[in-house]
Amino acid sequence: MCCLTGTVKITTDVDSLRSEIRDKSVRVIDVRRESDYKQDHISTAVNLPLANLLSDDSPERVLKLVNSMGIDDETSVVVYDDTFGALASRVAWTLEYLGHSDVTLLESTYSHWKSLGLENDSDTPEIQSKEHSMKLKSDILATSDYLETAKTRDDVILIDNRERLNFLEQHIPGAISLPYRTLASDDKILRSKEDMKRLLDNRGIAGDSEIITYCGSVGTLSGLAYYALKSAGLSNAKLYVRSFKEWKNLQKPTQKQEDASYWDLSAE
Amino acid sequence: MTISDLKQSPSDSVKSKINWSRIEEADDFANTVKLFRQGKYDEDSFRRYRLQHGAYGTRMTSDYAMVRIKLPAGEIYPDQIEKISQLSEQYSIGSGHFSTRENIQLHWVILEDVSEIFRGLAEVGLTSREACGNSVRNVMCSPLSGVCPDEEFDATPYALATAKFFLRNPMAQNLPRKFKFNFTCCEKHGMVRMVDVGLIPQIREIDGTAQKGFKIFLGGGLGNKSFVGHQLEEFTPEEDLLYTSIAVMRIFDRMGDRKNLARNRMRYLVNDMGWDKFQNLVLKERAVVRATQSVITKLKVDHTPDIIKRPIRISDEDGGETTPDGYARWLKTNTVKQTQEDYRSVFLTLEAGDITASQLRGLADIIRNFSSEGKGRSGFSQNIALRYVHEDDLTRLYSKLLEIGLAKSGALTMTAPIGCSGTTSCNLALTNSHRLAKEIQRKFLELKLDEDDDLSDSSIKISGCPNSCGQHGIATLGFFGGGGRVGKYMYANYQMSIGGRSDGDTMLGQTLLRVPAKRVIPVILKIIEIFKANKKPDDTLKSWINRVVNGNEDSEIKSIVDIKKILEPLIIPPTMDEDPDFYLDYGSDSSYHTKTGKGECAA
Ligand code: HEM
Ligand code: SF4
């Protein structure tokens, strides 16, 4: 069973991925560290460590990486990680931004896959390079400049996916807090569509407002949120991919919860 | 083979027999919040509704709430702990907080998410319904009930039945004010004289047969003004427990002060009317209740005994295992022997009740693997106990606790102070009492004061304002927060009292002097020094202070005034130039000023 929302497929379930692997109709990307990948990974998966991608995620470089992974415009791609889907989301989003439409997230993590005793090995597959086109999908990207002007519109919702204490301490003015932990269910990287819709609806995140997500530094937690929104049928979403780290470096205004020592409630 | 290899799968971990939740309350709450935000529900009605469901307001904002989850009789099961861990990461700050009344609290929850917490709680049978507001608050029971060497019988089933009877009961939805029950095991371990209704189990020989019943205390309580409860009668047989509770609540409901919010706890009614009159009324009302209630109106006390099963372990790993550092100290200051041979109850030292989400997860596993009753019991002092731990499992338990940072010593000593939430989240707070409690604990553990037998039966309790949520009135050394001033500068300043206690000789502490926040630690250390210099061989700090406050001490310290004289030089404020840090409260790097919002204690 797939998690279908309208025609947008966000995640791929375990059984479907297994049959796609058997049919050789999928390119699986493992975004964990190289050393983890080398130990074992989902059979046939290629390795693209997130850090490698982030070292230069210009479209030109991403195009090269995508080609070298044997992905063309028609290839069906499934991405997974072992970090509750956040790293995989960032990679999936990057492919989507490049113009690749058929990319989904594995519905659970690699640990979960392994705990089910499913196919894994340590082989590195032989890949034949392919030619992907570049049609940048700029409407899913938010830059700081874009955000500055968008914030003044009242049909724009800005979501902060960092943990609550970080949000209380400092956030982009006008943002609402939706910690990334709220996005998952017990064993899936995303809650069910109904659960997600109810949660978002309670918060007034609904309708066709434009929604921009951000997190602490590189758009991983907020990448997951981007897909969570889409899974709930909220497709007008953008990722502020450089996130709060850039915002602070640019010395743009921030807001904080005043007159309370909430940090002292934390047991950390 | 290690324990974790053998651990029972979550499915055979013990689960609560009682479902306290109602899932439909989640939807109802979500809808009500929406109506409120749309302006279709007025502020005041919404506040009452919110409190009735266990959600408090938060300091200086209406966007956030604190959700108080009830643990009736203090019982908490592994699956419930895991759920609370998850909820704290999803909707709160990644920590939960054990309170002094066997609740767990999640702070800084977005009001719109509260219903999602209710939904999660319902999955594990928990509720926050009537944890706040003018209702019967969480029914407490001593964490040692059932294992205490001094108890006559286990009051836990009675506490649970009482909680069940009053939860969502129409007669308890709009009392003049909150109403609290505390059951205990024995005189020493409870707080039966500091609550609306306090109960100690008693067995009486009547016509040759043993009859169960209670000693009931009425009209006590801590607050801006505190009172000690009165014993209703020699012995109240168990059949009369419910009738007595109903009678007391009916009188309070009819006669309690619904106008003057600051004086509407039942203790004021008792005080204004005089005990004799109140006592008479209760006895008469009880006769009426007994005569008019339907036969089916009963406490449903579940007497099925809990299954005590030592978690399975195949091989004995004791051979060659070394005892970890700090074990003896921990054993001494955190565990008590149970009536049941070979078993101990183990108290965990938390910092002012705080525990992280990952510690909670670890704790759930530890309970499954070490408690032969398969559940935890929260205590009276912002902590939690694992009971029925076999003596032979203690070293291994200690190692496991070390791994998750919960093996600190001193849980049952003065080095585990209570601190209410203070400025970390409470609207009425004047000081950061929560952090001060942590600072004292860190310092005193570093000084190994937990190992000092002279100090172990004393207590330190801190409130962030006069309202007593931190129970300062019954502490050996109690503090409540306020502001002090030097010229134009303000600083956090605590009113200190000494000699309070909540046992058989319950009394409130006597005011000693005001101590600036940054001088509290030196002042306590000085008191310990004076005590050491003047004590008799058998004295503990508690017994010595008791003699002093009662004017029975014959050393050079004759009274509280003599202690005050010695302390006074320590509390003189330095100038801002000499010591700017003095003017910052703990946990704050900006200049101290008092700031409060609307309190909801009376709501
Ligand atoms: C005038 C207002 C208030 C009064 C008189 C008051 C009084 C008290 C008292 C006497 C206790 C002691 C518990 C016991 O019986 O052992 C208590 C407990 C407590 N109070 Fe308050 N309180 C007030 C407002 C608040 C507020 C605004 C908060 C923060 C939201 C708060 C948080 C707590 C907490 C966390 C406890 C711990 C016990 C529990 O789990 O119920 N209180 N309060
Ligand atoms: S004692 Fe005061 S500061 Fe502390 S929780 Fe109660 S009302 Fe708040």
Which of A171, A173, A156 has its CA nearest to residue A211?
A: A156
In this structure, are B208 and B332 located in the same domain? no
DSSP strands (E only) in B41-94 = 55-58, 61-70, 75-76
Distance of CA A75 to the CA centre of its chain: 19
Residue B6 lies in a domain: no
> What's the rounded Cα separation, in Å, for the pair A165 and A179?
10
Partner residue opposite A267 with nearest CB, options B86, B95, B108: B95
| Stated length of chain A | 268
CATH code where residue B30 lies: 3.90.480.20
pLDDT value at position A3? 45
In this structure, are B430 and B577 located in the same domain? yes
pLDDT value at position B319? 44
pLDDT at residue B139 greater than cutoff 80: yes
Q: Where residue A152 falls among pLDDT bands split at 50, 70, 90?
A: confident
Which of B522, B391, B528, B390 has its CA nearest to residue B456?
A: B528
Residues of A whose CB is below 8 A from B588: 261
pLDDT at residue A121 greater than cutoff 90: yes
Q: Can you tell me the mean pLDDT for B88-103? A: 96
In this structure, are B508 and B466 located in the same domain? yes
**Are B108 and A262 in contact (CB < 8 Å)?**
yes
Residues of A whose CB is below 8 A from B355: 267
pLDDT, tens only, B496-550: 999 999 887 888 899 999 999 999 999 999 999 999 999 999 999 999 999 999 9
pLDDT value at position B6? 39
Which residues, including other chains, have CB under 8 Å from residue B357's CB and lie 6 or more apart? B85, B86, B88, B89, B94, B95, B96
Number of domains observed in the structure of chain B? 4
In this structure, are B229 and B356 located in the same domain? no
Indicate which ligand has the atom closest to the C-alpha of B463.
2
Q: Is B222 in the pocket of ligand 1 (CB under 6 A)?
A: yes
Tell me the domains of chain A and their CATH numbers. Answer: 11-136 (3.40.250.10), 139-265 (3.40.250.10)
Q: Which residues of B399-411 are buried (b: 16+ CB within 10 A; e: fewer)?
A: bbbbebebbbbbb
In this structure, are B198 and B107 located in the same domain? no
Q: What is the CA radius of gyration of chain A?
A: 19
DSSP secondary structure code for residue B501 in this structure:
B
pLDDT value at position A206? 85
Which of A239, A232, A228 has its CA nearest to residue A208?
A: A232
| Shortest distance, CA A203 to any CA of chain B (angstroms) | 6
Q: Can you tell me the mean pLDDT for B277-305? A: 93
Query: How many whole angstroms from B217 Cα to the centroid of ligand 1?
Result: 21
> What's the rounded Cα separation, in Å, for the pair B469 and B434?
11
Report residues whose beta carbon is within 6 angstroms of any ligand 2 atom: B 420-422, 426, 428-429, 433, 463-465, 467-470
Partner residue opposite A181 with nearest CB, options B90, B97, B355: B90
On the CB side of B364, how many CA atoms lie within 13 Å of its CA?
A: 22
- B227 pairs with which residues across the strands? B221
> What's the rounded Cα separation, in Å, for the pair B366 and B346?
12
DSSP strands (E only) in A112-199 = 120-121, 141-142, 156-160, 176-177
Residue B223 lies in a domain: yes
| Averaged confidence pLDDT in chain B | 92
Query: How many whole angstroms from B559 Cα to the centroid of ligand 1?
Result: 32
| Shortest distance, CA B596 to any CA of chain A (angstroms) | 9
> What's the rounded Cα separation, in Å, for the pair A262 and B448?
29
Q: For residue A44, count other CB atoms closer than 10 A to its CB.
A: 16
Distances (CA, A) of B75 to B188, B232, B261, B340: 20, 28, 32, 19
- Tokens 């303000």 label which residue? B490
Helices (H), B386-519: 394-403, 433-446
Residue B43 lies in a domain: yes
Helices (H), B134-238: 156-166
Which of B292, B291, B220, B284 has its CA nearest to residue B254?
A: B284
> What's the rounded Cα separation, in Å, for the pair B585 and B108?
21
pLDDT at residue B2 greater than cutoff 70: no
CATH code where residue B556 lies: 3.30.413.10
**Are A261 and B423 in contact (CB < 8 Å)?**
yes
Distance of CA B40 to the CA centre of its chain: 37
In this structure, are B498 and B352 located in the same domain? no
B76, amino acid identity: I
pLDDT at residue B320 greater than cutoff 60: no
| Averaged confidence pLDDT in chain A | 94
pLDDT, tens only, A181-206: 999 998 899 999 999 999 999 999 98
Which of A142, A138, A145 has its CA nearest to residue A159?
A: A142
- B329 pairs with which residues across the strands? none
Which domain covers residue B28, as residue numbers?
Answer: 13-76+87-123
Residue B70 lies in a domain: yes
Indicate which ligand has the atom closest to the C-alpha of B352.
1
> What's the rounded Cα separation, in Å, for the pair B542 and B558?
16
In this structure, are B570 and B431 located in the same domain? yes
Q: Can you tell me the mean pLDDT for B386-392? A: 96
CATH code where residue B339 lies: 3.30.70.3340
Which of A18, A174, A130, A32 has its CA nearest to residue A90?
A: A32
Query: How many whole angstroms from B558 Cα to the centroid of ligand 1?
Result: 35
- B163 pairs with which residues across the strands? none
In this structure, are B459 and B553 located in the same domain? yes
Which of B398, B380, B310 has its CA nearest to residue B144?
A: B380
Torsion of CA A228, A231, A232, A233, to 10 degrees: 130
Torsion of CA B142, B143, B144, B145, to 10 degrees: 50
Q: What is the pTM of this model?
A: 0.93
pLDDT value at position A5? 44
C-beta separation of B219 from B227 below 8 A:
yes
- A5 pairs with which residues across the strands? A8
Which of B104, B105, B200 has its CA nearest to residue B145?
A: B200
> What's the rounded Cα separation, in Å, for the pair B443 and B347?
20
pLDDT value at position B321? 64
> What's the rounded Cα separation, in Å, for the pair B64 and B530?
46
pLDDT at residue A113 greater than cutoff 90: yes
C-beta separation of A222 from A163 below 8 A:
no
C-beta separation of A76 from A27 below 8 A:
yes
pLDDT value at position A263? 84
Long-range own/partner contacts, residues A50-54 (CB < 8 A, 24 or more apart)? A50/A81, A50/A87, A50/A90, A50/A91, A50/A220, A53/A90, A53/A91, A53/A94, A54/A218
**Are A164 and B588 in contact (CB < 8 Å)?**
no
In this structure, are B380 and B521 located in the same domain? no
Residue B411 lies in a domain: no
In this structure, are B395 and B425 located in the same domain? no
- B281 pairs with which residues across the strands? none
Residue at a domain's end among B403, B427, B462: B403
Distances (CA, A) of B209 to A260, B156, B204, B544: 59, 22, 8, 43
A179, amino acid identity: P
In this structure, are B422 and B399 located in the same domain? no
C-beta separation of B202 from B215 below 8 A:
yes
In this structure, are B114 and B187 located in the same domain? no
DSSP letters of B163-178?
HHHHTT-GGGSS-SS-
pLDDT, tens only, A27-41: 999 999 999 999 999
pLDDT value at position B390? 96
C-beta separation of B22 from B122 below 8 A:
yes
Q: What is the CA radius of gyration of chain B?
A: 24
